[in-house]
């Protein structure tokens, strides 16, 4: 993924090729026990991680 090599690209050590071909989307999953009444802390951490990962990836692609 671009975010892993962004620093090298910024330094000019790597250059983008095939810019017209976007990378394949990736999927990230959270696995947790199914419960009828989900612990609010579980939902909170899932929401936090989802938002954080999306923000980090988006910022890395800029």
Report pLDDT digits (tens) over 3-61: 788 889 999 999 988 888 877 777 888 887 777 778 889 889 989 999 998 888 787 76
Report which of residues 62 and 4 the model is more confident about: 4
Q: Which residues of 22-41 are buried (b: 16+ CB within 10 A; e: fewer)?
A: eeeeeeeeeeeeeeeeeeee
Provide the pLDDT for residue 62.
65
Report which of residues 41 and 1 the model is more confident about: 41
Smallest CA-to-CA distance from 50 within 30, 22, 25, 26 is with 30
């Amino acid at each position: 993924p671009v975010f892993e090599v962004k620093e090298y690209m910024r330094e000019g050590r790597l250059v983008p090729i095939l810019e017209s071909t976007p990378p394949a989307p990736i999927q990230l999953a959270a696995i947790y026990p199914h419960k009828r009444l989900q612990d609010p802390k579980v939902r909170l951490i899932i929401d936090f991680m989802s938002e954080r990962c999306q923000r980090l990836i988006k910022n890395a692609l800029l």
